[in-house]
Amino acid sequence: MLSPDQKIAIGLRLAEERKRLDLRRASLARLIGCTPLSLANAEDGKSVLGGDFIAALIECGVDINYVLSGSRDSSAGAQRNVFQSAFLEVSRQLKLSNKPIGEKDHLEKAWVLFDALSSSKSHVRFLPDEAGISLDPI
């Protein structure tokens, strides 16, 4: 669980990224499918956006690694691309499985895939399970 200070820091970086992309709050909210008030609450550290919104932020060009961690080091760019790919692939597989899954489980599956792709093992099997998919690093 995030502390109030962590939520505020994430919110400030989210607002910074929105401004870097030259987007107004209402425009970004529309692009990611939330209300401007929900986005304002996230930017103010009052709430945290969930998995579907994170996927949409990635698609809009938001540096989600920076928003979540505050890191923009050179290796973070490559890692960000791998995590984005992992997150979007898990989203795609979940959509294909047509089974709902909680945001925490969605992120956990994305991290498992990220870890597998970042290690020497470059292949992962997607296996059906009661939550939609199971990631099995090969």
Output the pLDDT for position 125.
60
Averaged pLDDT of the chain: 80
> Could you count the other beta carbons within 10 Å of the beta carbon of residue 111?
15
CATH code for the part of the protein at 4-69: 1.10.260.40
pLDDT in tens, 67-113: 998 887 556 566 767 777 777 777 777 777 777 777 667 777 777 77
Contacts of 65-68 spanning 24+ positions with Cβ under 8 A: 66/13, 66/17, 67/10, 67/13, 67/14, 67/17, 68/10, 68/13
pLDDT at position 124 over 70: no
Q: What is the pLDDT of residue 130?
A: 53
pTM, to two decimals: 0.56
8 Å CB contact between 49 and 80: no
Q: How far apart are CA 34 and CA 87, in angstroms?
A: 19
What is the spatial distance between Cα 124 and Cα 138, in angstroms, rounded to a whole number?
5
pLDDT for residue 123: 56
Residue 137 is predicted with a pLDDT of 53
Where are the alpha helices (H) located in the chain, listed in sequence order? 4-20, 25-32, 36-43, 51-59, 64-69, 74-97, 103-118
CB 47 within 8 A of CB 41: yes
pLDDT surpassing 60 at residue 35: yes
Average of pLDDT values for 20-36? 92
What is the percentage of the chain residues whose pLDDT exceeds 70? 78
Whole-angstrom distance, CA of residue 125 vs CA of residue 117: 12
Enumerate the domain spans of the chain. Answer: 4-69, 74-137
